[in-house]
Amino acid sequence: MPITVNLDVMMAKRKMSLSELSEKVDLTLANLSILKTGKAKAIRFSTLEAICRVLECQPGDLLEYDDGNKK
Amino acid sequence: MKQLKTRTEQILATMPILAWVAFAAYVIETGAVLYSYTISFVDPEAAKDVYRGLNLYRLSKINFWYYTQAISLIAGLAVSKAVVAWLVIRALTKFRLENPFTMDMVVRLEKISYAAFGTWVLAMVSNGHLAWMMKETGELQGNWISGEFIFIIALVYVMSQIFRRGVEIQTEHELTV
């Protein structure tokens, strides 16, 4: 999929662990792991909103489009 | 809703039993036909009642090769139907109403439709052969599958494709965070 989830990058910038984020956004570790590893097929706006609020970032900081044709 | 679920559960519990009965019947039919055929080598009178009153005695007297062909087709059809019944048993025993959309179920349904299609093709060949043999010998009685059976096969195949889509939707749902 050409959409990359940069959740691990943002978590590292904010020095936040997955379990801490899981508690703060009220998502299971399994679901966050699906998102972090790029296995997710879709993301709810409510989830995106919660993650952006906790990590103090924009949706664009978490999601990146790459069609693989970059030089 | 609960009553509906209970009824569905009851039907699902009963269906494997019916499928087992059908499977046993086809296996018995195959065995009986082949047994009668083997015995008819020694005692030609055995061809008078091949299976449930099917009399192929005159045909065996006219031409034993035609008789062998008829027996092969009858036995082949019974085996083919037994295979379909066996696949239905396997699918029904693996089916779980709580989680019906699995790739395993899709593959099983597809296998059933392919096996049933094979049975239909064999039945059509048998019908053609029967008509030819009747013209040749003026003999033979038959009780074969009708051509309309193909619609049920198509329905099973369509169901398997619906299940395939169901699996895709379920996977998508599970991977939505």
Which residues lie across from B176 on neighbouring strands? Answer: A42
The CA R_g of chain A, rounded to the nearest whole Å, is 12
Q: Does A37 touch chain B (CB under 8 A)?
A: no
Q: Do A40 and B175 touch (CB under 8 A)?
A: yes
- Please report which confidence band the pLDDT of residue B66 belongs to, taking 50, 70 and 90 as the band edges: confident
A48 pLDDT above the threshold of 80: yes
Residue B137: CB atoms within 10 A of its CB come to 15
Best of A1, A29, A41 to disrupt the B interface (most B CBs within 10 Å) is A41
Residue A11 domain-assigned (yes or no): yes
Q: Is the ipTM of this complex over 0.90?
A: no
What pLDDT digit, counting tens, does each position of B135-166 carry? Answer: 777 765 555 566 677 888 999 999 999 999 99
CATH of the domain at A33: 1.10.260.40
pLDDT at B3: 62
3-state SS of A21-66 is HHHHHCCCHHHHHHHHCCCCCECCHHHHHHHHHHHCCCHHHHEEEC
Residue A40 domain-assigned (yes or no): yes
Q: Which residues contact B94 (CB under 8 A, 6 or more apart)?
A: B104, B105, B108
B121 pLDDT above the threshold of 80: yes
Residue A39 domain-assigned (yes or no): yes
User: Which of chain A's residues have a Cβ under 8 Å away from the Cβ of B175?
Assistant: 34, 39-42
Pick from B85, B80, B82, B50: nearest CA to B68: B50
Residue A5: CB atoms within 10 A of its CB come to 21
Q: Which residues contact B72 (CB under 8 A, 6 or more apart)?
A: none
What pLDDT digit, counting tens, does each position of B39-61 carry? Answer: 999 998 888 888 888 888 888 88
Smallest Cβ–Cβ distance between B172 and the set A32, A35, A41 belongs to A41
Q: Does A30 touch chain B (CB under 8 A)?
A: no
The 3-state DSSP class for residue B98 equals coil
Who wins on pLDDT, A27 or B149? A27
Number of domains observed in the structure of chain A: 1
Q: Do B175 and A44 touch (CB under 8 A)?
A: no
What pLDDT digit, counting tens, does each position of B17-30 carry? Answer: 999 999 999 999 99
User: Which of chain A's residues have a Cβ under 8 Å away from the Cβ of B177?
Assistant: 27, 31-32, 34-35, 40, 42-44, 47
Q: Do A32 and B177 touch (CB under 8 A)?
A: yes
* Residue % of chain B over a pLDDT of 70: 92
Residue A22 domain-assigned (yes or no): yes
Rounded Cα distance between B111 and B86, Å, is: 11
Mean pLDDT, to the nearest integer, of A18-30? 92
User: Which of chain B's residues have a Cβ under 8 Å away from the Cβ of A44?
Assistant: 176-177
A70 pLDDT above the threshold of 70: no
Residue A48 domain-assigned (yes or no): yes
Distance to chain B for A18, nearest Cα, Å: 15
Q: Do A39 and B175 touch (CB under 8 A)?
A: yes
Q: Does A34 touch chain B (CB under 8 A)?
A: yes
- Please report which confidence band the pLDDT of residue A68 belongs to, taking 50, 70 and 90 as the band edges: confident
- Domain holding A23, by residue range, is 3-65
Residue A71 domain-assigned (yes or no): no
Residue A59 domain-assigned (yes or no): yes
* Residue % of chain B over a pLDDT of 90: 51
The chain B residue lying nearest A36, using CA atoms, is B177
The chain B residue lying nearest A42, using CA atoms, is B176
Residue A70 domain-assigned (yes or no): no
The 3-state DSSP class for residue B7 equals helix
User: Which of chain B's residues have a Cβ under 8 Å away from the Cβ of A27?
Assistant: 177
What pLDDT digit, counting tens, does each position of B69-111 carry? Answer: 989 999 999 999 999 999 999 999 998 888 888 999 999 999 9
The chain A residue lying nearest B171, using CA atoms, is A41
Pick from B165, B102, B163, B173: nearest CA to A41: B173
- Please report which confidence band the pLDDT of residue B128 belongs to, taking 50, 70 and 90 as the band edges: confident
Q: Which residues contact B77 (CB under 8 A, 6 or more apart)?
A: B119, B122, B123, B126, B144, B145
